[in-house]
């Protein structure tokens, strides 16, 4: 059997040979003489830019853009930007840029196959991770892969989403638009005279987070961003209403992504400063976190000028869903043009959960936003949601037509639409209790469980549920965790592997060279039959002993809950393996039911219920993939 690379090159080589010679040499605008410079850098086929230019012959180069002195060594920082662009258009047409700025190009890799950048013996880039260069460069785009400041071949010191991370990448956008300086490897000035100054940023996780942050600066020339599984507020990544997901995370992450940098710069002072100022002990939102907030902190959603195409998995327990839902709403308030895909998987790129639909959609999006082609994508439904495995619906906005349905817990363990219960319910904190133990049937003094009767018809839950609690405790610092559960056997997207499974087959997306192929392992959605699903979670810190009226804004979701299923509310104190334990004692907690309620965002008419047997399983009935295998141990947003 031929190797993966040999098979791919044979396929792509045949494709390149088959291209019309005239199309490879030039792409004049309709009606323009063939011997004149093209007015546009593309040829349209079936309404989209066609692969007209040679990928093997493309110009590959590196420039170092000048940025502020974030590592405080007395010299401006130098930000490495690796560039690939069509040689046929050099000096004849100005082209737009697709950019992926990342901290992971040398330390950790990009994509499902963890690809790294590669260079020849002279330091010239020969391999760009992911398919973006292979696919878009032949269609008349430039592609720029930026080493975020403090990583790989860039100088500076990483500061987990603050000024270094954002402004070092902004400097590259400025250079592409003629508003910053750059040099080549020999120190000679370099101008981006080959681009029209229009940039579109894309990236998953940390990469998409950088795109969010750069957009929030309002930088000129950034036309669109495509943040995938991305962070919009690092507080909402590292914290949940005053509770950390882990200790000293900002300094740890900043150190990890800088480990494989080519220039050994001492950033220990910056890391120590971050560890001292991150506020793990209080969990408070303060200046440290405002500097890492792109919605309403130092950076503002109202300053975003670029259009935004959000992609997120509603089962993402890494970059949790408030990062997309609150960003989406804040962008709406700012009047930003928006589009969004929501899938049922976890922290997974759309290239890996639906590339057959994703690549053509992304292609049309960049054609519209960067090439200025009127292909109608802006007039299509703005939102596409997978409300059940493999079942996608489209809407004009999100959430669409929901109303809050209020459910009240009662002392008999029910969760009803009826009158409030004036009684109390109590439990004892168990810091070793797992989520699996807390959501199943059986006597359990360490949690509260309230369930509805069975649903008489399907309902669609869309948005952020909310729980208000009247809770009392005796700890100096208490905590509470809530989970909204759907009970009932059904085929669901598994939580194992974030709901994605890599297959042995491959598909190719673009042109290639011997060093940079365009074929990737296919990925399938991992599904399994499970007796329950946790559809939303939330936590809150309770400072001081006594009574607390607390509202927990839970993680967003969008799904159809089938008829015949039950809804459940679980209340605990500590949540082992999900959030840092601040109350490690067997503290009693009391919940006053009169002022405790669940507000559920439901589309259409309120749910109706009918009495039936309980669907809550025992612990032994849980199956693999029922609950997300998460841990409060450090995890990379990648």
What radius of gyration do the chain's Cα atoms show?
26
Q: How far apart are CA 529 and CA 373, in angstroms?
A: 44
Strands 415-416 and 142-147, how do they pair?
unpaired
Give me 40's structure tokens.
């546009």
Q: How far apart are CA 573 and CA 477, in angstroms?
A: 11
Q: How far apart are CA 525 and CA 560, in angstroms?
A: 18
- How many residues does this entry show for the chain? 638
For residue 426, the 8-state DSSP code is E
Q: How far apart are CA 115 and CA 100, in angstroms?
A: 14
Q: Which residues pair with 308 in a beta bridge?
A: 225, 338
Please give the torsion angle defined by the CA atoms of residues 115, 119, 124 and 128, in that order, rounded to the nearest 10 degrees.
-10
Please give the torsion angle defined by the CA atoms of residues 346, 350, 354 and 358, in that order, rounded to the nearest 10 degrees.
160
Q: How far apart are CA 390 and CA 526, in angstroms?
A: 11
Residue 110: which residues within 8 A CB-CB, separation 6 or more?
A: 100, 102, 104, 116, 129, 130, 204, 207, 638
- Evaluated on CA atoms 216, 219, 225, 227, the torsion sign reads negative
Confirm if 147 and 102 have CB atoms less than 8 A apart.
yes
Query: Which positions are annotated as active-site residues?
Result: 205, 316, 347
Give me 274's structure tokens.
């971050």
Confirm if 200 and 141 have CB atoms less than 8 A apart.
no
| Residue-wise burial string across 591-603, b where 16 or more C-beta atoms lie within 10 A, e elsewhere | bbbeebbbbbbbb
């Amino acid at each position: 059997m031929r190797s993966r690379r040999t098979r791919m090159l044979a396929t792509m080589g045949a494709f390149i040979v088959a291209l019309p010679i005239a199309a490879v040499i030039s792409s004049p605008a309709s009606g323009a003489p063939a011997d004149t410079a093209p007015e546009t850098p593309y040829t349209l086929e079936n309404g989209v830019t066609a692969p007209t230019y040679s990928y093997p012959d493309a110009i590959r180069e590196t420039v170092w853009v000048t940025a502020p002195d974030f590592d405080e060594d007395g010299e401006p920082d130098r930000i490495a930007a690796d560039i690939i662009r069509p040689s046929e258009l050099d000096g004849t047409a100005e082209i737009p840029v697709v950019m992926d700025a990342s901290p992971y190009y040398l330390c950790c890799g990009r994509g499902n196959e963890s690809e790294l950048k590669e260079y020849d013996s002279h330091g010239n880039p020969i391999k760009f991770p992911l398919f973006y260069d292979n696919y878009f460069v032949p269609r008349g785009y430039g592609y720029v892969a930026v080493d975020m400041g403090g990583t790989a071949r860039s100088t500076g010191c990483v500061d987990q989403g603050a000024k270094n991370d954002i402004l070092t990448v902004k400097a590259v956008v400025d250079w592409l638009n003629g508003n910053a300086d750059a040099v080549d490897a020999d120190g000679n000035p370099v101008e981006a005279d080959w681009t029209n100054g229009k940039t579109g940023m894309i990236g998953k996780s940390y990469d998409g987070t950088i795109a969010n942050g750069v957009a929030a600066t309002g930088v000129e020339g950034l036309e669109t961003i495509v943040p995938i599984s991305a962070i919009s507020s690092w507080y909402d990544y590292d914290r949940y209403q005053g509770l950390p997901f882990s200790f000293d995370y900002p300094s740890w992450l900043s150190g990890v992504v800088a480990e494989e940098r080519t220039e050994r710069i001492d950033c220990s002072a910056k890391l120590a400063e971050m560890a001292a100022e991150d506020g793990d002990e209080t969990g408070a939102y303060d200046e440290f976190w405002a500097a890492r907030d792109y919605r309403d902190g130092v950076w503002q959603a109202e300053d975003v000028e670029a259009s935004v195409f959000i992609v997120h998995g509603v089962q993402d327990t890494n970059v949790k869903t408030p990062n997309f839902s609150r960003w989406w709403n804040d962008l709406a308030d700012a009047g930003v043009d928006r589009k969004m895909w929501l899938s049922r998987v976890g922290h997974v790129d759309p290239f890996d959960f639906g590339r057959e639909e994703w690549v053509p959609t992304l292609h049309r999006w960049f054609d519209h936003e960067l090439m200025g082609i009127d292909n109608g994508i802006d007039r299509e439904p703005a939102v596409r949601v997978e409300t059940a495995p493999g079942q996608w619906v489209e809407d004009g906005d999100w959430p669409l037509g929901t109303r809050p349905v209020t459910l009240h817990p009662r002392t008999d363990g029910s969760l009803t639409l009826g009158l409030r219960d004036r009684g109390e319910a109590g439990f004892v904190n168990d810091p070793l209790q797992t989520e699996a133990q807390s959501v199943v049937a059986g006597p359990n003094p360490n949690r509260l469980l309230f369930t509805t009767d069975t649903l008489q018809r399907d309902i669609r839950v869309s948005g952020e549920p909310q729980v208000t609690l009247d809770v009392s405790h005796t700890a100096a610092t208490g905590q509470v965790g809530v989970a909204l559960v759907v009970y009932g056997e059904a085929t669901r997207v598994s939580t194992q592997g974030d709901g994605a499974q890599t297959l042995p087959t491959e598909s190719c997306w673009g042109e290639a060279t011997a060093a940079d192929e365009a074929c990737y392992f296919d990925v399938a959605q991992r599904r399994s039959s499970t007796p329950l699903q946790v559809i939303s979670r939330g936590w809150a810190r309770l400072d001081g002993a006594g009574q607390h009226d607390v509202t927990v804004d839970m993680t967003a979701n969008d799904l159809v809950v089938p008829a015949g299923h039950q809804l459940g509310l679980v209340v605990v104190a500590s949540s082992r393996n999900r959030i840092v334990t601040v109350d490690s004692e067997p503290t009693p907690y009391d919940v006053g039911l009169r002022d405790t309620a669940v507000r559920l965002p439901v589309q259409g008419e309120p749910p109706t219920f009918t009495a039936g047997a309980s669907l809550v399983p025992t612990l032994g009935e849980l199956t693999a993939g029922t609950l997300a295998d998460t841990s409060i141990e450090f995890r990379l947003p990648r």
